[in-house]
């Protein structure tokens, strides 16, 4: 199974590592990265639940991703948990705005499987372990400075970042905002149309005919009425179908 062009760090860490010898080396534990150039170098796994022994894998050792396993080729580098804790990383670092106030935390990263170059980080406002929490994309060029456990930006808030995945609440707010804008646009179009109707001249009223009330007949109309009197029935009444 070929690797996709882009991987999520969380998809890599949640799988168990299995080498080409068929041995299992434990589940993915921690990313190995180089923050100054925003590149993923590899990751580590814990082969046993007991002890502090860790195994580090280079990214170019990854061969395929299965549903529950990450298939690798070659031997890992042996280390311990204390050494891994000293490795620099931006994952789980606090994200600060331009006023240096925390607005979220860096919880994940999308990177190229061939080179390890990080395309963007994923930022969460709440606890990333909560299901359905929102994610925002943070491009590396939006980062102003990096310090241990802190990422400084010039953002005014998370709304300055594109939304990668919306929670139920965030999706409801976004749809409500879109509906409100549509209603305002429809109201503006109706108001413009109504103003146009009010500015149009009134309809022309046709001149009243001779049969209109208050308009006397002239002599020619009276003579035509005498020559062609209305038909009468046997009772002497006008043949009016409505009578």
What kind of architecture, by CATH, is found in domain 6-85? Roll (2.30)
116: left (phi over 0), alpha (psi -120 to 50) or beta: left
Mean pLDDT, rounded, for 124-135: 74
Name which of 99, 143, 98 is nearest 123 in CA terms. Answer: 143
Mean pLDDT across the chain:
81
pTM over 0.85, yes/no? no
- 109-111-115 Cα angle (round to 5): 150
Mean pLDDT, rounded, for 73-86: 93
Q: What is the CA radius of gyration of the chain?
A: 40
Mean pLDDT, rounded, for 118-128: 87
More confident residue, 77 or 1: 77
Parts of the chain belonging to CATH 2.30.30.240:
6-85, 94-168
Q: Across-strand partners of 62? A: 72
What does the alpha-carbon distance between residue 10 and residue 110 come to, in Å, rounded to a whole number? 9
In the CATH hierarchy, which fold is given to the domain comprising 94-168?
SH3 type barrels. (2.30.30)
pLDDT band at 243 (very low <50, low <70, confident <90, very high): very low
For residue 239 the two structure tokens come to 């043949």
pLDDT at 51: 83
pLDDT band at 168 (very low <50, low <70, confident <90, very high): very low
Whether the predicted pLDDT of 180 surpasses 80:
no
pLDDT at 109: 96
In residues, how long is the chain?
A: 243
Distance of CA 206 to the CA centre of its chain: 59
Name which of 243, 1, 8 is nearest 110 in CA terms. Answer: 8
Percent of the chain with pLDDT over 90: 57
How does pLDDT run across 181-193, given as a tens digit for each residue? 666 666 666 566 6
More confident residue, 73 or 174: 73
pLDDT at 198: 59
Mean pLDDT, rounded, for 195-202: 60
Let me know: does 73 contact 19? Beta carbons within 8 Å: yes
**Exposure of 205 by Cβ count < 10 A (0-12 exposed, 13-18 middle, 19+ buried)?**
exposed
For residue 11 the two structure tokens come to 């998809």
Most confident range (mean pLDDT) of 20-29, 47-56, 161-170, 176-185 is: 20-29
What does the alpha-carbon distance between residue 216 and residue 36 come to, in Å, rounded to a whole number? 102
How does pLDDT run across 44-72, given as a tens digit for each residue? 999 988 888 999 999 999 999 999 999 99
């Amino acid at each position: 199974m070929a690797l996709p062009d882009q991987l999520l760090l969380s998809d890599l860490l949640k799988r168990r590592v299995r080498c080409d010898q068929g041995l299992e080396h434990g589940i993915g534990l921690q990313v190995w990265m180089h923050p100054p150039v925003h590149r993923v170098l590899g990751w580590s796994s814990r082969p046993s639940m007991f002890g502090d022994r860790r195994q580090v894998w280079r990214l170019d050792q990854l061969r395929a991703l299965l549903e529950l396993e990450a298939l690798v080729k070659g031997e890992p580098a042996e280390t311990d948990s204390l050494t891994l804790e000293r490795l620099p990383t931006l994952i789980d670092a606090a994200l600060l705005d331009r006023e240096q106030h925390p607005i979220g935390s860096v919880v994940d990263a999308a990177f190229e499987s061939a080179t390890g170059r990080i395309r963007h980080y994923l930022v969460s406002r709440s606890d990333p372990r909560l299901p359905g929490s929102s994610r925002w994309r943070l491009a590396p060029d939006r980062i102003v400075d990096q310090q241990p456990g802190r990422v400084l930006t010039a953002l005014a808030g998370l709304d300055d970042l594109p939304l990668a995945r919306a929670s139920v609440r965030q999706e409801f707010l976004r749809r409500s905002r879109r509906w409100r804008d549509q209603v305002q646009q429809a109201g503006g179009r109706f108001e413009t149309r109504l103003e146009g109707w009010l500015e149009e001249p009134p309809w022309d009223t046709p001149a009243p005919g001779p049969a209109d009330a208050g308009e006397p007949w002239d002599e020619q109309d009276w003579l035509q009425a005498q020559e062609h009197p209305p038909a009468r029935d046997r009772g002497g009444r006008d043949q009016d179908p409505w009578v």
